[in-house]
Amino acid sequence: MIRESEYKSRRDTLGNKLSNNSVGVLFAAEAKTRSNDTEYPYRQNSNFYYLTGFKEDNSALVLVKSKKGLKTLLFVQSKDKKAELWNGKRLGEKKAKERFLVDEVHSIATLQTKLRELLENKKTLYYDFALEYPKVKMLKKESQKLFAQKNIASLIGSMRLIKSKAEIELIKKAIEITKEAHHGAMQFTKCDKYEYALQAHIEYIFKSNGAYNDAYTSIVACGNSANTLHYIKNDKILQKNELVLIDAGCEYDYYASDITRTIPVSGKFTAPQKELYSMVLDVQKKVIKKIKPHAKRSKLQSYAEKLLTKGMVDLGILRGNPKKLIQKKKHKKYFPHGIGHWMGLDVHDEAPYKYPNGKEIPLQEGMVLTIEPAIYCDKKDKTIPEKYRGIGIRIEDNILVTSSGYENLSKKIRKEVVDIEK
């Protein structure tokens, strides 16, 4: 659990990044209609949550920076018995002032009037350029007279790169639940059942353990479906002697896990499946060992590509000199994506990979990233040995950068051939 003092510390850090005589505004995510009078499950905007820990919609956080210092204002929905009867209890201004370590709390109904006052004679407005909420449009209209408009999301993203101890504990909890789900999938009787039945079993375990939201739509891809990277139909029958690629993670108190395992439907790898799987697993282990402070993701990427290309040459999937094959990008046909990404409040965390000057940000203690080498051999690819056609394999773990190297946070999720079969 993250304490209110940590949220306040984040707001203070952000305030230090704002220029004098400026206003920063963040909005809660809007509730979205699914159809007619039903809505999608609500999920708070990650940046807003990062600075407040507040889960209600129709809210806003305003930071006012002056030479005197930082002033924080939170705007929330007022108590309303009729509205709360339909949509649940609201915190309201009084309780919000008691809970949050902010200077002022106001009704969201007063936001436009209050902003007009706060923006008077200010030089800079900070807000999230990616959002197109009606409130953002209102904000832009109010700020036409301002000297400059800057993207507050980029400032928050750089803060989100380094995880606190409390954040790491929440990620570990999400991974612990995900471990139970993936192990449950390995034990699930799969032959002649549908992919969606296996997906339902995984997500049942998520929810049974307090992870009410998936971190993303689960991928359960049997056979050649695994060669579609973002396959989410999950509507085919799990076939005997095929592999099933499961990319599934949950959120625990908004913090994500992101795990991929590739397992045999029948419980045993065939010889060709084992050859490909062992090659990818060996690459993953070697790449993970390279993780430490000051290492660069681009170097991890090139190292993974070098190892995978050599592995594919050894197996006859590619032919020629590995170095020349990489120069010609021949390996991209079978490994088209990156070796990993940041992870935190979002499964693909909204944090930068480069400094504003374009230089790559090296790994630092407290960063969390995924490592996910893969090989995708489409069944229609006649250039590769027939025994490998239709096989797609990805193995993904979540790694914390430590002061001396790394910690594989998901190391307890089985991935050795012998352990999966057992």
- Residues with catalytic function: 37, 230, 247, 258, 337, 341, 348, 372, 376, 394, 396
Beta bridge pairs of residue 41: none
Residue with token string 């003092």: 5
How far is residue 186 CA from its own chain's centroid?
24
CB hemisphere CA count around 192 (13 angstroms): 0
**Residues 6 or more apart from 150 whose CB is under 8 A from it?**
124, 125, 126
Give the C-alpha separation, 127 to 212, whole Å: 30
For residues 409 and 368, the answer to whether their CB atoms sit within 8 Å is yes
Q: Name residue 121's amino acid.
A: N
Q: Which tokens is 125 given?
A: 């407005």
Backbone CA torsion sign across 177, 9, 31, 341: negative
Q: Which ranges of 234-352 would DSSP assign to H, the alpha helix?
A: 271-288, 297-315, 322-327
Rounded to the nearest 10°, the torsion over CA 37, 39, 1, 101 is: -60
Q: 33-35 and 22-27: which strand pairing?
A: unpaired
Q: Which residues contact 389 (CB under 8 A, 6 or more apart)?
A: 377, 378, 379, 380, 381
Q: How many other C-beta atoms can be found within 10 angstroms of the C-beta atom of residue 408?
A: 16
Cβ atoms of 258 and 370 closer than 8 Å: yes
Angle at the Cα of 173 (from 193 to 164), degrees rounded to 5?
140
- 418 burial (CB, 10 Å; 0-12 / 13-18 / 19+) is exposed
CA–CA separation, 25 and 62 (whole Å): 5
